[in-house]
Structure 1
């Protein structure tokens, strides 16, 4: 008499039959107690007639290809203790009849396609110890009755669409619970501290939900091994952080702690070091933690991964990390760490992921990184690292990504790079590297991205790059490369982006392969290139190549041109003495008005000569409707002056409209903090195509955006506190003039740091009035909405998104964001601002007395350094004076940030106007100066 049937994997031929065809007649299974057919590939539906096997206490059909719904008749198997249908393709709902399975201890339906709500009646299964229904499509509110099942030991509902809150008395009725998996759902509300009442808990995974409120405090969980609270909206303070880490003091078995992607703030306490020495994974990433990384980490000898990225940690990286010789991942990018990178890598031989980019780390890259033989990912981008790249890095045969972009690295790219067979991404843009591109680069057979832009590489482009068949991105722009474009580049079948712009390349542009698709390559700024393709000539504006007989045809015109030039030269000599007599008189006039000698009717030819045929080295920047070049113009007196030329890209549909709007707005306005437009040019270029440009004052110190985010102390380009305050007052003065002293008032509509230029005295000038609007003072006059207004993301007032009219309040909002950006060092488009969090909300979430903690730390450090230096020789003032100076600086920063918050409230009518904001900023400056 058969009582148990366990079927292991069966032959391929049998697997092709539905489940019901592989079983003997049910009359032969009447006395069956256990049915285990797991791990096969049976398909078809679960037979309803299983319900006739009344003695069954085990049905295991997991890891098959079963489909259809779960028969409700299975609810009649009152002796059933274990039911496992996981990893199939079942659909439909959990039958409510399962509430009748009073003997059921294990119910596993994970990894199917089940849907609908979870029956509340499951809470009646008083013997159920394991409920596993994860990775389905369940929705609706999770039954609270299940939280009252005292028999539960294991509960997993991860990766569903379940809602609801956890009961405040959670844990009171779950004395035996060991594993709680609620991750990747839509649970919300506060996580109750009462979870600690389930004192046997070993695993708590509540990640990827919508929990809010303070981070919970779990005391008495002595058996806890995993605590995962990541990707919620939990909050904290320095005090709460202390309590949180202190409550885990007795969780001596803790191996994994993840509290990433929340809204946690404040400093990490020293009690951080009291965590379990068994800790293997620690992740506090993507929060708002400040202060230094706590000491005491050498205790965690078992640590495998350490993630501190995307916070506001300052100070130096603790050298005691060297003791963590089991560490495989060290991820601390996107903070404000400074100082030299400690030489810690000789002992971290198991490291495969090292990400330290986007900090303020300085010094050299240590050779000891070469001892991390398992390293797969190395990210040191956007720091202040100097020197050359150690050869040892190019000996890391397993390295797949090397990102050193945005530093001050020098020297060549060594030929040894060709030995890196596994390398997929090489980023070394924005450094000071030089020399030739090594031909050995062809050895990087796996390379997908190669970006070397904005360096000093010279020589020709190696033809061997054409052998990199996997290459998708190649960016060699803004270097000093010469010679022809290799034909072999056309063979790059996987290429999606080829950028060779702004070099000194010459000769014929290839016409085969990728060069047949104009959207895939950029060759601008190489004025010696030519082409035989009409399409390339028309779209890229390059000259046609001259070949064959055509050379002879141009010989006679060339000779005639030389003779004509000689005659013209003699005429110029004849007239020179008359010009010389008047030069002194006109020079006096020019000195009184630096632009008087400049012709007001500037032509395309004048601009072309002034910008050296729009050469790459004269390109200042690019905007929404065109490019800005530096141009050297000649006076009629022979004197020269440097000006800025904004050349409109008339291929864009609204460029002409922007040009007209800017001319109209600036026609009658005059203010020291507005960029002065000298003249305009509206004519035809040498191809007979329309050409429009504005000629303006040249600002030698660039734009505010660069100064905020890329300035540094070493180059002297870091803006000090007083400089930032003066610039803020300058911008506020310009807007106050536009809003209150112009008739009609003018709304700029695109205020951002990139549109604030700095002259030789660091005086700020607002520029780019391409989106400016005249504001109607008569309510009956029609004014267009802002639905078509394209400002800059992050700076656009929220009401503009709903079609509100352009207004001074909209400019005030943009100014407030600019102010917050200047004094926090954070762009409003930073990756941290997502899911409803914004720059305004981030700053306003800080306590009134702690608002300075979100300030750009470089401002405070600058004052700390300057006051220490000034007091080093003044023993009478000493530390007390230093403290007063620092306190006053922090007070100034807090005042300015409060102005920014007052300008960025959601309701336009509740915002300050520019006159009030300007007055407050001037008062703050007066307070600083008087102090």
Structure 2
């Protein structure tokens, strides 16, 4: 190379690096032998573009160039390189002959065009009888749910397709994937009823169907999923009551059914059965009515309880004070009445209490100043009496008691 600036090796190496990133393979991979190298491997799927990325951008100018010449050549080739990268990032290569494929994970990229046909590659994976992970969430794939998924390997453990431009209803067939453990279909445009045969996949531990347009009721068959630990169905158009059968999901740690149109009472069997809930129970922004069941006290390990913005009423059960792991308690936007239970002074880990816009009466409890609160909202109730001065009440921005009946 002499004393002149050379970019041949560096740019060639950069091209190889790009191919390694796109394929997940290295030039020394055991499959790249007998005349098959990394360039040819990618060229089989992207014949029009691989050379534009993997070859030296300075090939036309020789191996020895000045920095000025290098900049000029790079500028001339920039548009073509960007075009090739777009193609590679925009489509999935042919997968039909990958019989031994076990993991296909391309989540959080820029794949797809947002149109029908983007997921034609899924049918090519039927031959991959050892496939255990299929994850292409958070890309730009469009079209309807690919029913060819139902014909994939029964070894499939994880299916993650959320965060794309997919739409339409989900037909029956998911029950074919008998060993599935994780199902992610969130943040899409799916609509219609949630298939009941999900309840046949007894090994499911994580289901995320949130932020779609699913309608109808929650399938009672979900109660068969006794290994379920996470169930997210918030942000849909679900109606009807919460099925008591969910109380059979004894390993559930997180349940979020918020932002739907669910009605009826909070089922007592739900609370008695879900004693394993340790992260959160979120039933907010629905149309639930009736009182808060006394069984709420059985959720001793629960970290967050949010039942705000419903039509719940009655007095709070004193048993709420036995949920001593609570850090967040949101009850705002309901019709609760009576006194704030003195048992709440036992919530030693509580940091956030919101009772805004209810019908609570009586004195503002002095014990509230002794809790480890970071936020307290008592506004729009019927409370009165002297305002405590310690604890959270020392921080005006962390406390709200506006629009109560008495002088505070």
Answer whether contact 1:380 1:404 (CA < 8 A) is retained.
Answer: yes
1:510: which partner in 2? 388
Which of 328, 343, 347 in structure 2 is aligned with 1:468? 347
Answer whether contact 2:91 2:112 (CA < 8 A) is retained.
Answer: yes
Answer whether contact 1:445 1:470 (CA < 8 A) is retained.
Answer: yes
1:423: which partner in 2? 302
2:144: which partner in 1? 267
Residues 462 and 242 (structure 1 numbering): CA distance in 2 closer, same or farther, change over 3 Å? same
Which of 311, 317, 322 in structure 2 is aligned with 1:443? 322
Answer whether contact 2:306 2:330 (CA < 8 A) is retained.
Answer: yes
SS of the residue corresponding to residue 465 of structure 1 reads helix
Task: Pick which of 457-466 and 231-240 moved more.
Answer: 231-240
Which of 465, 474, 491 in structure 1 is aligned with 2:370? 491
Q: Distance in 2 between matches of 1:429 and 1:414?
A: 15
1:291 maps to 2:163: no
Which of 373, 388, 397 in structure 2 is aligned with 1:519? 397
Output aligned runs, 1:604-753, within 5 Å.
none
SS of the residue corresponding to residue 277 of structure 1 reads coil
Q: Distance in 2 between matches of 1:397 and 1:255?
A: 32
Answer whether contact 2:119 2:143 (CA < 8 A) is retained.
Answer: no
Q: Distance in 1 between matches of 2:127 and 2:83?
A: 27
Answer whether contact 1:245 1:274 (CA < 8 A) is retained.
Answer: no
1:319: which partner in 2? 196
Q: Distance in 2 between matches of 1:144 and 1:241?
A: 23
CA deviation after TM superposition for structure 1 residue 189, in Å: 7.2
2:185: which partner in 1? 308
SS of the residue corresponding to residue 386 of structure 1 reads strand
1:226: which partner in 2? 103
Considering only aligned residues, what root-mean-square deviation do their CA atoms show, in Å?
2.8
CA deviation after TM superposition for structure 1 residue 475, in Å: 0.5
SS of the residue corresponding to residue 392 of structure 1 reads helix
Provide, for residues 121-172 of structure 1, a one-character-per-residue CA deviation record: whole Å limited to 9, x for no partner. 998xxxxxxxxxxxxxxxx7764697996541499xxxxxxxxxx9685276
Consecutive unaligned residues of structure 1, counting only runs of 5 or more, are: 1-118, 124-139, 156-165, 173-186, 194-210, 531-931
Residues 121 and 317 (structure 1 numbering): CA distance in 2 closer, same or farther, change over 3 Å? closer
Q: Distance in 2 between matches of 1:282 and 1:459?
A: 48
Answer whether contact 2:200 2:224 (CA < 8 A) is retained.
Answer: yes
Output aligned runs, 1:65-214, within 5 Å.
143=17, 151-153=28-30, 169-170=41-42, 212-214=89-91
Provide the TM-score with structure 2 as the length reference: 0.81
1:408 maps to 2:287: yes
1:397 maps to 2:280: no
Q: Distance in 1 between matches of 2:180 and 2:82?
A: 31
Q: Distance in 2 between matches of 1:502 and 1:464?
A: 22
Answer whether contact 2:229 2:252 (CA < 8 A) is retained.
Answer: yes
CA deviation after TM superposition for structure 1 residue 423, in Å: 0.1
Residues 231 and 121 (structure 1 numbering): CA distance in 2 closer, same or farther, change over 3 Å? closer
Residues 483 and 153 (structure 1 numbering): CA distance in 2 closer, same or farther, change over 3 Å? farther
Answer whether contact 1:217 1:247 (CA < 8 A) is retained.
Answer: yes
Q: Distance in 1 between matches of 2:40 and 2:127?
A: 23
CA deviation after TM superposition for structure 1 residue 251, in Å: 1.1
Residues 407 and 264 (structure 1 numbering): CA distance in 2 closer, same or farther, change over 3 Å? same
Answer whether contact 2:119 2:142 (CA < 8 A) is retained.
Answer: no
CA deviation after TM superposition for structure 1 residue 255, in Å: 0.5
Provide the TM-score with structure 1 as the length reference: 0.36
Provide, for residues 735-763 of structure 1, a one-character-per-residue CA deviation record: whole Å limited to 9, x for no partner. xxxxxxxxxxxxxxxxxxxxxxxxxxxxx
Provide, for residues 455-503 of structure 1, a one-character-per-residue CA deviation record: whole Å limited to 9, x for no partner. 000001112222212111110100011111100010112x211011111
Answer whether contact 2:151 2:176 (CA < 8 A) is retained.
Answer: no
Provide, for residues 66-95 of structure 1, a one-character-per-residue CA deviation record: whole Å limited to 9, x for no partner. xxxxxxxxxxxxxxxxxxxxxxxxxxxxxx
Provide, for residues 693-713 of structure 1, a one-character-per-residue CA deviation record: whole Å limited to 9, x for no partner. xxxxxxxxxxxxxxxxxxxxx
1:452 maps to 2:327: no
Aligned length: 355
CA deviation after TM superposition for structure 1 residue 332, in Å: 0.1
Which of 207, 212, 230 in structure 2 is aligned with 1:330? 207
SS of the residue corresponding to residue 313 of structure 2 reads strand
